Amino acid sequence: MSPASDETKPAMIQHARDGDDEADALPCLSEIVQMFYNGWSEAMAFNRPVGFASRSTRPCYEPGMESAIMTSHTVIAPAGVTFRRLTVDDLDLLREIRAEALQKYPQSFGTLEEDQGGDAMVAAYRHWLSDTILGAFEGQTLVGTAGFYVAPDKRSQHRGHIFTVYVRDTSRGKGVGDRLIKELLALAEPRVEQVHLAVVLTATAAIKTYKRNGFEIYGTDPRAIRIGDVTYDKYLMMKKFR
């Protein structure tokens, strides 16, 4: 396999989508990561900085993976983890991971519909799944989520919001959360001018991940949440695309 020249890259992406043999010879994201784990020399044979999986890579279409994500930005995939957009068929998986998040981090997660439970909660999840929720999978197990929406108000169509960012304990610290945010931002950028989120001050890993992806703190929402006798402040964070 030899690296593609810059001039031929866009065409190769198109060919890769069409199943062209030559383009199929290009590495996809997870293959590059595998090379990284195998050793620098193999990775460098591609004449491309490891970890900078660029437009010249083909998307990793896994069998049965309907909505593989084609990235056009710098991103490195954690080994053994696949990413795709969730659909209404993933309702049970979403319910399960959200239940865990709600139980472990009530200060970070929770909506009126989830407090109500039952049909109201299921309807809310179906609504979320009809928009943008990304999932990270290890095998068939959903290990992480990150959601994006734009509020319906006409006057705030330039702003997007990130929510339900969660990675299971066993999959943390290897970049799954980081990759979820990067993928979400790539989807958000053509749609909005800026992205907002709110995060409790105690969620240090989350704050790190957001800052690493260009979010800045623009305010503090004091005592945003009360659970029993304890109150939690939230940082308001924003990333501007333009």
Ligand X SMILES: CC(C)(COP(=O)(O)OP(=O)(O)OC[C@H]1O[C@@H](n2cnc3c(N)ncnc32)[C@H](O)[C@@H]1OP(=O)(O)O)[C@@H](O)C(=O)NCCC(=O)NCCS
Per CB under 6 A, residues contacting ligand X are: 105, 108, 165-167, 172-178, 199, 203, 205-206, 208-209, 212
Using the minimum distance from each CB to ligand X, give the nearer residue, 58 or 182: 182
Using the minimum distance from each CB to ligand X, give the nearer residue, 58 or 168: 168
Gap between the Cα atoms of 194 and 162, Å rounded: 11
**Distance (Å) of CA 41 to CA 25, 50, 56, 80, 150:** 18, 10, 19, 21, 44
Q: How far is the CB of 13 from ligand X (least distance, A)?
A: 27
At 171, the amino acid letter reads S
Place of tokens 């590495």: 27
Written as one string, the DSSP assignment of 59-76 is P---TT-TTBPPP-S---
Supply the DSSP symbol for 171.
G
Q: How far is the CB of 224 from ligand X (least distance, A)?
A: 11
Q: Which residue is nearest to ligand X (CB)?
A: 177
Q: How far is the CB of 167 from ligand X (least distance, A)?
A: 4
Q: How far is the CB of 168 from ligand X (least distance, A)?
A: 7
Using the minimum distance from each CB to ligand X, give the nearer residue, 127 or 208: 208
Using the minimum distance from each CB to ligand X, give the nearer residue, 178 or 183: 178
Q: Is 93 helix (H, G, I), strand (E, B) or coil?
A: helix
